[in-house]
Amino acid sequence: MRDPLPIAPLAAPPDATVNVPGSKSITNRALITAALAVGTTTLEGVLFADDTHAMLEALTDLGIEISVDDEAAGVITVVGCGGELPGREVSLDARQSGTTGRFLPPLVALSEAPVVVDGHPQLRARPMDDQIAALRLIGVTVEELGEPGHLPLKIAGPPTGHRVTLRGDVSSQFVTGMLIAGAVPGMDLRLTTAAISRPYLDMTSAVMRAFGATISEDEGMGWAVGGGYTSPGRYRIEPDASAASYFIAAAAISGGRVRIEGLGRASLQGDVAFAHVLADMGAVVSIQDDAIEVQGRSLRGIEVDLRHISDMAPTLAVVAAFADGPTTISGVGFIRGKESDRIAGPVAELNRCGVLAEETDDGFIVRPDGRVHGATFDTYEDHRIAMAFSLVGLMVDGVAINDPGCVAKTFPSYFAALEQLR
- Catalytic positions: 311
User: Which residues face 347 on adjacent strands?
Assistant: none
CB contact set of 219 (below 8 Å; sequence gap of 6+): none
Q: Which residues pair with 153 in a beta bridge?
A: 117, 144
DSSP strand pairing (257-261 vs 15-18): parallel
| Distance separating alpha carbons of residues 73 and 40, to the nearest angstrom | 19
Distance (Å, whole) CA 183 – CA 223: 10
C-alpha–C-alpha distance, residues 122 and 342, integer Å: 14
Buried b (16+ CB within 10 A) or exposed e, 281-312: bbbebebeeeebbbbbeebebbebebbbbbbb
Which stretch of DSSP H or E encloses residue 363?
Answer: strand 363-367
Whole-angstrom distance, CA of residue 318 vs CA of residue 224: 41
